[in-house]
Amino acid sequence: MNEINWFLVLGLALGAYTCKVVGLVVVGARTLPRVVDRCLILIPAALISALIVKDTLSVGQDLVLDARALGVGAATFAAWRRAPLVLVIVIGAAVTALARALGTA
């Protein structure tokens, strides 16, 4: 069950590389419209936000509200207040650990 299918890994790597090359060939030296550039700049932030929400509020196929949500909320508040990144991570981890220790979530 833990065996790695290297053909699958190589096939997925080839597919990802092909997508990148096709993008370079199609766009080439042309400049994209400003509205497309502005949207492309926002994609990484939207993607990481979606991954954080998914991993925070789900276990398998179930939605859950547990200590992780409290930790992410505290870290979000700290980031909003412009705390240094290391402090944001420490606050999120500490609130999550405290909530688990107290058994509140």
Model-level pTM?
Answer: 0.65
In single-letter form, the type of residue at position 83 comes to A
Strand, coil or helix: what is 3? coil
- The strand pair at 62-63 and 58-59 is best described as antiparallel
Q: 66 has which bridge partners?
A: none
The helix/strand/coil state of 58 is strand
SS3 65: coil
Q: What is the pLDDT, as a whole number, of residue 3?
A: 78
Helices (H) and strands (E) in the chain, counts: 4, 2
Return the domain boundaries, the chain. Answer: 1-58, 65-105
Cβ burial of 89 (10 Å; 0-12, 13-18, 19+) is: middle
- Confidence at residue 27, expressed as pLDDT on a 0 to 100 scale: 80
Give the pLDDT confidence score for residue 60 in this predicted structure: 86
Q: Which residues of the chain have pLDDT under 70?
A: 1-2, 105
- pLDDT at residue number 105: 60
Backbone dihedral angles phi then psi of residue 33, each to the nearest 5 degrees: -60, 155
For 47-69, what is each residue's pLDDT tens digit? 999 999 999 999 888 898 889 99
